[in-house]
Amino acid sequence: MIPNVISKRKIILDTDPGGDDAFAFLWLQSLARQGFAEIVAVTAADGNVAAQYTFAGACKLLKLGGFDTVEVGRGVINARQGDRADAEAIHGADGMGNLTHTLPTPEQSYDTARLSDQILIEALKQAPGELTLVAIGPLTNLAAAEQASPGVLQLAKEIVIMGGAFSHAGNVTPEAEFNIAFDPEAAQVVFSCCDRIVVIPLDITSQLIFTPEHAQQIFQENPNSSIAQFMVALCQFMVKSTLAFRETSGVPGFLVHDAATMAYLFYPETLQFQRAQVEVETAGQWTRGKTVIDRRHKAKLSANAWIATEVNATSLFAIMIEDLKQLVASNR
């Protein structure tokens, strides 16, 4: 039981579904069902696939879990988009293993949806200091909100970002991670205007290999659950593309980068952190999109973020699987 004095975490999920986004979504929905979280809004972002598809994916994931009354924003499309490659090859043409046709049809429509930055601005101004932004896609929406309404991101209780690579190699270039590399200017705007940022980088998410065995454990809890069936099928797709991209040292599984944000928010004992000033390289010919911190032992005059440096993957997966079992147990 939760003592009455503890209030739920109020969350806006900024997301570009995405196979690993889907697992973050479903974990969050389980936590919301258990009374630990409130999903205030979902702001879809241009990223893994184009904005229309991330919007549709986000709506369908909410409907799948029974949270379809949550408003979904459509992603801001940055004018510099021309030079960016999406991640269709990893996540499928629809962002979710070409499985969205198996998911329920949502009522919300891309054409009439509000833009994601408008939703962020309105929500943050209505509840200053109360909302946690969980950003698991490129940071275009957050930067657009800040540029339209300077100071608005400082109204967040906390901004939790999956992105960047510090000691670890990048995953789209030798140095850069996808979410930051997709829109480095946007990322730099966010890091320069807020000092309550938590970064979940590739350094720890590269250790989070979700396997078909994990999916089976959840599926066995309730084989009739449409959520469980979706997870098994998505895992199957993601394992194949992940092996092709050699991201797991040959282990049949895929990296649930985005889901690690939920571990930080609700089970922080699974992670260790370092405080630092994070900057984003926006000009480098070979390093564009790299996240940079100063590791030297020189006095630091500022810090904007906590960066996850270590993860207990065994504990994280044990917790995640139990929470997902709870979600599917009551699902048909």
Which residues form the interface with Ca ion (CB under 5 A)? 16, 18, 21, 136-137, 258
Q: How far is the CB of 2 from Ca ion (least distance, A)?
A: 29
Q: How far is the CB of 258 from Ca ion (least distance, A)?
A: 5
**How far from chain centre, in Å, is Cα 65?**
17
Q: How far is the CB of 176 from Ca ion (least distance, A)?
A: 15
In the complex with Ca ion, the residue whose CB is nearer, 155 or 202, is 202
In the complex with Ca ion, the residue whose CB is nearer, 96 or 293, is 96
Q: How far is the CB of 173 from Ca ion (least distance, A)?
A: 17
DSSP assignment string, 42-100: EEE-SSSS-HHHHHHHHHHHHHHTT-TTS-EEBPPPPGGGGG----HHHH-TTSSTT-G
Residue with tokens 């000033």: 277
In the complex with Ca ion, the residue whose CB is nearer, 155 or 262, is 262
For the question of residue 168 being annotated catalytic, the response is no
Q: Which entry of 91, 101, 214, 257 is annotated as an active-site residue?
A: 257
Amino acid symbol at 66: G
Alpha carbons within 13 angstroms on the beta-carbon side of residue 212 total 10
Q: How far is the CB of 100 from Ca ion (least distance, A)?
A: 15
Q: How far is the CB of 50 from Ca ion (least distance, A)?
A: 14
Using CA atoms, how far residue 169 sits from 19, 75, 248, 290, in Å, is 21, 28, 13, 10
DSSP assignment string, 207-233: T-EE-HHHHHHHHHH-TT-HHHHHHHH
| Rounded Cα–Cα distance for residues 78 and 139 (Å) | 10
| Rounded Cα–Cα distance for residues 157 and 155 (Å) | 6
Alpha helix locations (H) across the chain? Answer: 19-33, 51-64, 88-91, 116-126, 140-148, 178-182, 184-193, 202-205, 212-221, 226-244, 260-266, 313-329
In the complex with Ca ion, the residue whose CB is nearer, 179 or 225, is 179
| Rounded Cα–Cα distance for residues 113 and 126 (Å) | 20
Q: With the C-alpha atoms ordered 68, 228, 20, 204, is the resulting torsion angle positive or negative?
A: positive
In the complex with Ca ion, the residue whose CB is nearer, 64 or 155, is 64
The residue nearest Ca ion at its CB is 18
In the complex with Ca ion, the residue whose CB is nearer, 256 or 276, is 256
The residues annotated as belonging to the active site are 257
